[in-house]
Amino acid sequence: MSEWCIGIDGGGTSCRAAVATSQGQIVGRGLSGAANILSDPPTARRHILAAAEAACREAGLDPAALSSMPALLGLAGANVGTVARDIAAALPFRESEIVSDGLIALEGALGPEDGTMAILGTGTVYLTRRAGAVRTLGGWGFQLGDQGSGARLGHALLQESLLAFDGMRPGSPLTAAVLCEFGDDPGAIVTFARAAQPADYGRFAPRIFAALEEGDAVAADLVAAAARQIDQALDAAAREGTAPICLLGGLSQAYQRHLAARHRLRLAPARADALSGAVSLCVAWQRGLADPAGS
């Protein structure tokens, strides 16, 4: 068993690494750029390596030591095709275990316990662990899924703004502000939508929650409908019971008080972040306690 191990949290915005002892005590951290293994594997590989080397240096270790360390990487897109296997083969670690970004977040949030994690951000996805078995629900993306996400909220707001323009549904100060922002030209909203990515819609989400606080009726309806969808997802993911529910993601705070009491009563703060989860999974894997990729 190696003296050190390394955990990696790689996503579309940045890549973080932590070198830890074989008992899981973190001794150095490193940060680099995006590690998007689906859209740009070579850059992802480079940034994974850069973060790992920086973590070594912070730990006072020669980056050459990486070749003797086991690494556990939680990467967005790890479940698609052979991408993860290809990346693993191109990394310099002693051995590389690649799991989804959701799994290391779950491990970080819950520790070794059963429970449910909901990521409420630009998209939405739910992971739940019961007697050690992990199940993923949702996460099908903006086009047909991600109900309750920031992207779907923003999309719904633009829809309501067009309906208000036509007098088909009641408008509000918020829909009036949106129309004004597009020069009171519904065609400009349609043009925006033609090129919009989920994150472009998602940028409207904080304004919807802000308008809700100011008593905006359309904002209240949109959030209530989205919260009902999240409640339904939690009913499926968390089922009945007392196991904790952790909310993560940029909208987790905003949604909290809008969820049903049966879920609110079970909410618990995350124990640790996804990077810590990667380190914990790496330690367990090395001890033969877990088969991360198999769970």
**Residues forming the site for a second copy (CB under 8 A):** 137-138, 140-141, 143-145, 147, 155, 158-159, 162-163, 166-169, 186, 189-190, 193-194, 229, 232-233, 235-236
Q: To the nearest whole angstrom, how small is the minimum distance from the Cβ of residue 36 to a second copy? A: 18
Q: To the nearest whole angstrom, how small is the minimum distance from the Cβ of residue 158 to a second copy? A: 5
Residue with Cβ nearer a second copy (36 or 124): 124
**74 in helix, strand or coil?**
strand
Residue with Cβ nearer a second copy (147 or 149): 147
Residue 288: count of CB within 10 angstroms of its CB: 8
Distances (CA, A) of 60 to 23, 34, 56, 65: 18, 25, 6, 11
Residue with Cβ nearer a second copy (8 or 251): 251
- Phi, psi (5° rounding) for residue 197? -95, 165
Question: What's the sign of the alpha-carbon dihedral 265, 115, 241, 237?
Answer: positive
Residue with Cβ nearer a second copy (60 or 167): 167
Q: To the nearest whole angstrom, how small is the minimum distance from the Cβ of residue 181 to a second copy? A: 15
Residue with Cβ nearer a second copy (66 or 158): 158
Nearest to 42 by CA among 94, 86, 98, 97: 86
Q: To the nearest whole angstrom, how small is the minimum distance from the Cβ of residue 84 to a second copy? A: 16
H, E, C per residue of 209-272:
HHHHHCCCHHHHHHHHHHHHHHHHHHHHHHCCCCCCEEEECCCHHHHHCCCCHHHHCCECCCCC
Q: To the nearest whole angstrom, how small is the minimum distance from the Cβ of residue 192 to a second copy? A: 9
